[in-house]
Structure 1
Amino acid sequence: MPTPEYSLPDVLERMHENQHALEAAIMELTLLIESQGSIEIGGNVRGALDTIRDNAGHINQGLARLKAQ
């Protein structure tokens, strides 16, 4: 059985993947909430998700630099 990688870049990459999975799950819940008429709450959540998406590019660049070292 291969030994899993626990280097900093690998751990951060998995955390980033988890962030994307949580983003998708939260969006699904947001769509449900909005379909039930809670448009204001949906808008608030979408704002938070925009922050996650904005930061994703920075995280990707940081991971690429760490892996290149």
Structure 2
Amino acid sequence: MSNDNLIKMANQIAQYFASQPDQEQAVLSVRNHLQMFWAPSMRKALLAWQTEHHGEDLHPLVQAAVTGAGWEA
């Protein structure tokens, strides 16, 4: 899967959870979704992109989800 598709999908997930009033819960929801439904290879590719590009093009909730404690690539 291309990085463009991963970013697009991750950002769509973040947009969905962005409406939650509690920002910390929104980050946890994004992280949980990625860990439950994305293959490890997809999570590793997303983390590599985030690290290499300093979060460029990633929704802030995705950035927080993949860099916070509890993230498993």
Normalised by the length of structure 1, the TM-score is 0.37
Q: Which has the greater radius of gyration?
A: 1
Structure 1 or 2: more helix by fraction: 1
**TM-score, normalised by the number of residues in structure 2:** 0.36
